[in-house]
Amino acid sequence: MMKIAVAGTGYVGLVTGVCLAENGHSVTCVDIDEDKVALMRDGVSPIYEPGLEELMKKNMEKLHFTTDYQQAYKDADVIFIGVGTPEKKDGSANLSYVYGVAEQIAESIEKDCVVVVKSTVPIGTNDKIEEIIKSSLKNDVNVYVASNPEFLAQGSAVKDTLHASRIVVGVEEEFAGKVLREVYKGFDAPIIVTNRKSAEMIKYASNDFLALKISFINEIANLCEIIGADIEDVALGMGYDTRIGNRFLNAGIGYGGSCFPKDTKALHWLANFHDYELKTVKAAIDVNENQKLKLIKKSRKYFDSFKDLNVAVLGLTFKPGTDDLREAPTLVNIPLMLEDGANVKAWDPVGAKNFKKLHPDDVTYCETIEDTIKDADVCFIFTEWDEVKNFDLTKYAELMKTPIVLDGRNCYRLKDAAKAKVIYDSVGRESINAEEYSNC
Ligand SMILES: NC(=O)C1=CN([C@@H]2O[C@H](COP(=O)(O)OP(=O)(O)OC[C@H]3O[C@@H](n4cnc5c(N)ncnc54)[C@H](O)[C@@H]3O)[C@@H](O)[C@H]2O)C=CC1
Ligand SMILES: O=C(O)[C@H]1O[C@H](OP(=O)(O)OP(=O)(O)OC[C@H]2O[C@@H](n3ccc(=O)[nH]c3=O)[C@H](O)[C@@H]2O)[C@H](O)[C@@H](O)[C@@H]1O
C-alpha cells in the first residue's frame, strides 16, 4: 500500500484515483474546485462515467478529497499530475495548469517522492516539470519525475484503467520505474518502460494515429457517396485484415472530444516549431474540420434555409457514454441552425444538462426521443446512443411532419430505413427515398 496524491479530479484524475484505491492504495484526490470536492466527499462523482461512482463509494475509506494540496502532497510517496492541458489559440498545449501543480509540489513536499505526469504533455515537458520542481524545492528532498501517459477513453474509463491495453512508464532513473511497477502491481496490463521523451511521444503518436484512421475512413466515405459504394461494407471488408483492424473505422461527422482535436494540433504545432511539417496529421485535422459540417451541407438538398423549421436533434455529446461536450459537433451545428431561424428540440440521456448551461433558452430539451421528433421537419443524429440505435424507425414516419432523418453516425441499416419509409441520409452510403422528398 502506498500513499498517493492525485492532482486534478477530471476524467483522468478521478478515475485514476479511484482505481488506485481499488487496488489497495490510500489516495488523496486534490482539486481547486471546491464544489467538485464537496460532491466527491459525499460519494458523488462530478462527472458521468459508467461504474465510477459505484467504485468510488466502495472505496471511500481509502479515498480522500481536498483542496488543501500542501496537506495532500507533503508526505505522499507518489504524486500523479492529471490536470488539463487544453489547446491554446495557436494550437499548442496550454501547460500552465501542469506547471502550476509542479510549483505547488515543490513548495509542499517534505519527503522523497515520485511525481508521475499523467496529463498529455508535449515531448520535453517532463524535463521542464523536473526543472521547475527541483529549482523551487522548499525542503531538502529527492524528487523523481516519471511520464505515465493515459490511454483511457471516456465512456469506458474505469474498464480501460483496470484492464489497460498497456501501461507506459517513461523514466530517467531506475528507482522511479521500480516505484511505478509497485503502484501498478494489481493492474491487469503489460508495462512498457521507455525514456521520458519516448513515453510522451507514444501518447501523441497513438492519439494522432487514431485520429488519422478516422479522417481516412471519412474521406473514403465521402468518395463512396460520390461513386456509389457503401462505406459500411467497405469498412467491414477492410477490417478483416488484421494489419488494419476493424476498430476506429466508423465513418461519420468526425472526431470530437477533449483529446483528438487538441492532440493533433499540439503535435503538429510542435513539429512546426522544430521546422518539420507533419503532413499526415495536418490532413487528419483538415478532413475533420470539413466533416463536422457534413450533415448541414447535406440538409441543403432538402431545404434552402432552417427558417421556422422544427429541427429534432438526437445526441449532444461527442460520443455515447459520456456527459462531455468538449469539441462535440453539436457545438458548431446547433448555433448555425439557430442563427438561421430553426426551432431546435434536443434529446441526450446525460449530456442535456451540460448543453443547457450553454443554451438555456434557445433549445427545447425533451425527455424522450418521441417528444423530440414529434412534428419535426427534419431530424439530425449526432451521437449514436443505444436508445437511438434501438429506436423503432417506423416512428419517424409516424411522428415527424416530414420524416427526413440525417444520420451522422450511421445508426440504421439502409434496408430497415427503406422499409420504414423514411427519407434517410447517412454518411458514405446511398440516400434512401431522397427522391420522394418533393412529394412530401
Ligand atoms: N479525458 C480523457 O479521456 C483523457 C484525457 N487525457 C489527458 O489527461 C489530462 C486531464 O484531462 P481531463 O481529465 O479530461 O481534464 P478535466 O478538465 O476533466 O479535469 C482537470 C481537473 O484539474 C483541476 N485542476 C486544475 N488545476 C489544478 C491544480 N493546480 N490542482 C488540482 N487540480 C487542478 C480542474 O479543476 C479539473 O477538475 C489532459 O492532459 C488530457 O489530455 C488523457 C487520456 C484520456
Ligand atoms: O487521450 C484521450 O483523451 C483519449 O482519446 C480517445 O478517447 P475519447 O476521446 O474519450 O473517445 P473515442 O472513443 O476515441 O472517440 C473520440 C471521437 O472519435 C469519434 N470516432 C471514434 C471511432 C470511430 O471509428 N469513428 C469516430 O468518428 C467518436 O465519435 C468521438 O467523437 C482515445 O480513444 C483514448 O485512447 C485516449 O486516451
Q: Kindly report, residue by residue over 361-374, the tens digit of the pLDDT.
A: 999 999 999 999 99
Closest C-alpha to 209, from 276, 289, 261, 284: 284
Residue 253 CA: nearest ligand 2 atom is 27
**Closest-lying ligand to the alpha carbon of 9?**
1
Q: How far is the CA of 138 from the centre of ligand 2 (A)?
A: 41
**What is the CATH number for 49?**
3.40.50.720
> Is residue 259 within 6 Å of ligand 1 at its C-beta?
yes
- Co-location of 135 and 280 in the same domain: no
Residue nearest to atom 24 of ligand 1 (CA): 8
Dist. CA 330–CA 349, nearest whole Å: 15
d(CA 149, CA 167): 8
Residue 337 confidence (pLDDT): 98
Out of 15, 85, 160, 210, mutate this one to test ligand 2's pocket (max ligand atoms within 8 Å of CB): namely 210
Could you tell me if 298 and 378 lie in one domain? Answer: yes
Q: Which of 291, 316, 340 is where one domain is finished?
A: 291
What whole-number distance in Å separates Cα of residue 296 and Cα of residue 217?
20
In terms of pTM, does the model score above 0.80? yes
Q: What is the pLDDT of residues 78-89, one digit of tens each?
A: 999 999 999 999
Give the range of the structural domain holding residue 370, as residue numbers without chain letter: 294-437
Which of 157, 172, 194 represents a domain boundary (last residue)?
A: 194
Residues 318 and 211 in one domain: no
Atom of ligand 2 nearest to the CA of 249: 24
Same domain? For 39 and 150 the reply is yes
- Same domain assignment for residues 252 and 153: no
ipTM of the complex: 0.98
CA–CA dist 386, 409 (Å, integer): 12
Residue 259 known to be catalytic: yes
Pairing of strands 310-314, 26-30: unpaired
CA of 251 to the centre of ligand 2 (A): 13
Q: Are 172 and 197 in contact (CB under 8 A)?
A: no
What DSSP character marks residue 88? P
Q: Whose CA is nearest to atom 4 of ligand 1?
A: 12
Interval between CA 328 and ligand 2 midpoint (Å): 11
User: Are 240 and 144 within one domain?
Assistant: no
Each residue's pLDDT, cut to its tens digit, for the chain (440 residues) gives 999 999 999 999 999 999 999 999 999 999 999 999 999 999 999 999 999 999 999 999 999 999 999 999 999 999 999 999 999 999 999 999 999 999 999 999 999 999 999 999 999 999 999 999 999 999 999 999 999 999 999 999 999 999 999 999 999 999 999 999 999 998 989 999 999 999 999 999 999 999 999 999 999 999 999 999 999 999 999 999 999 999 999 999 999 999 999 999 999 999 999 999 999 999 999 999 999 999 999 999 999 999 999 999 999 999 999 999 999 999 999 999 999 999 999 999 999 999 999 999 999 999 999 999 999 999 999 999 999 999 999 999 999 999 999 999 999 999 999 999 899 999 999 999 888 776 45
Please name which ligand lies nearest the alpha carbon of 151. 2
Å from CA of 209 to ligand 2 middle: 11
- Grid-cell match 496529421, residue found: 281
Confidence at residue 436, expressed as pLDDT on a 0 to 100 scale: 76
Question: Residues 394, 400, 401, CA angle at the centre, nearest 5°?
Answer: 135
- Closest ligand, as measured to the CA of 6: 1
Residues 376 and 262 in one domain: no
Q: Determine the Cα–Cα distance for residues 29 and 9; give it in Å rounded to an integer.
A: 7
Cβ–Cβ under 8 Å, residues 85 and 121: yes
Query: Are 187 and 212 within one domain?
Result: no
The last residue of one of the domains, among 239, 263, 291, is 291
Residues 151 and 246 in one domain: no
Residues 280 and 362 in one domain: no
Q: Is 323 in the pocket of ligand 1 (CB under 6 A)?
A: no
Per-residue pLDDT at 439: 47
Q: What are phi and psi of 220, to 5 degrees?
A: -65, -40
Same structural domain, 152 and 272 = no
CB 158 within 8 A of CB 55: yes
385: Cβ below 6 Å to ligand 1? no
Residue 434 has a pLDDT of 84
Q: How many A from CA of 282 to the centre of ligand 1? A: 25
Cβ distance 321 to 156 under 8 Å? yes
Shared domain for 231 and 302, answered yes or no, is no
Ligand nearest to the CA of 217: 2
Q: Which one of 96, 148, 150 would you pick to mutate in the ligand 1 pocket, going by the greatest count of ligand atoms within 8 A of its CB?
A: 150
**CA gyration radius for the chain?**
24
pLDDT score, position 438 = 60
Q: Ligand 2, residues 208, 214, 218: which to mutate, most atoms within 8 A of Cβ?
A: 214
Specify the ligand 1 atom closest to the Cα of 83. Answer: 22
Q: How far is the CA of 223 from the centre of ligand 2 (A)?
A: 23
Q: What total number of domains does the chain contain?
A: 3
345 - beta bridge partners? 312, 364
Nearest Cα residue to atom 10 of ligand 1: 84
Catalytic hit among 259, 366, 379, 411: 259
Looking at residue 266, its amino acid is A
Contact by Cβ (8 Å): 119, 85: yes
**CATH assignment at residue 218:** 1.10.1040.10
Q: Which ligand 1 atom minimizes the distance to the CA of 100?
A: 29
